[in-house]
Amino acid sequence: MKKKLYLKAVKGKGRGVFCTTNIAEGETIEVCPVIVIPAEDFTALNATALMDYSFYFDKEANTLSLTMGFGSMYNHKQYPNAVYILDREKKQMLFTAHEEIKAHTEICINYGGEYGKDYAKWFVDREIVPV
């Protein structure tokens, strides 16, 4: 059965990503192309709401990426049920299930990129109280 992702309102978080089918641990959820935002546009993007939906493409070079598909819509969880890997060469983000995810369960990632990492600074910088 083909996976069908969808967005749904999540209390205290805005919208979140869900799937109509179960997803097995290790299964690919989505492969998303990314648009690389060059360093000279960092300050301009930082002044917009799009900053909340971007990932660092290369933190040292101060480049960002906007992830297409549902990629920029996954909510944060310290102990998420999904993980992501940025493939800079292919300019894409791969999302996989860290554990079995039941149908209609919110799919979450850790914004710090590491399972269990407390990424409170992301929320503090945006004056958001994480749920």
pLDDT tens track for 78-112:
899 999 999 999 999 999 999 999 999 999 998 87
Which range (25-29, 110-114, 125-129) has the least confidence?
125-129
Q: Are 95 and 67 a contacting pair, CB within 8 Å?
A: no
Q: Is the predicted pLDDT of residue 74 greater than 60, yes or no? A: yes
What is the structure's pLDDT at 50? 85
Q: Where are the chain's structural domains?
A: 5-117
Q: Which residue has the higher pLDDT, 131 or 58?
A: 58
Letter for the amino acid at 67?
A: T
**Would you state the CATH architecture of domain 5-117?**
Beta Complex (2.170)
pLDDT for residue 64 is more than 60: yes
User: pTM value?
Assistant: 0.85
Q: How far is CA 113 from the centre of its chain?
A: 9
What per-residue confidence (pLDDT) applies to 129? Answer: 59
Reported as a pLDDT band with limits 50, 70 and 90, residue 128 is low
Measured distance CA(129)–CA(123) in Å, rounded: 7
Instruction: Quote the mean pLDDT of the chain.
Output: 87
DSSP sequence for 7-46 = EEEETTTEEEEEESS-B-TT-EEEEEEEEEEPGGGHHHHH
61: phi > 0 → left, psi -120 to 50 → alpha, else beta; which? alpha
What residues have CB less than 8 Å from 45, skipping those under 6 apart?
37, 51, 54, 64
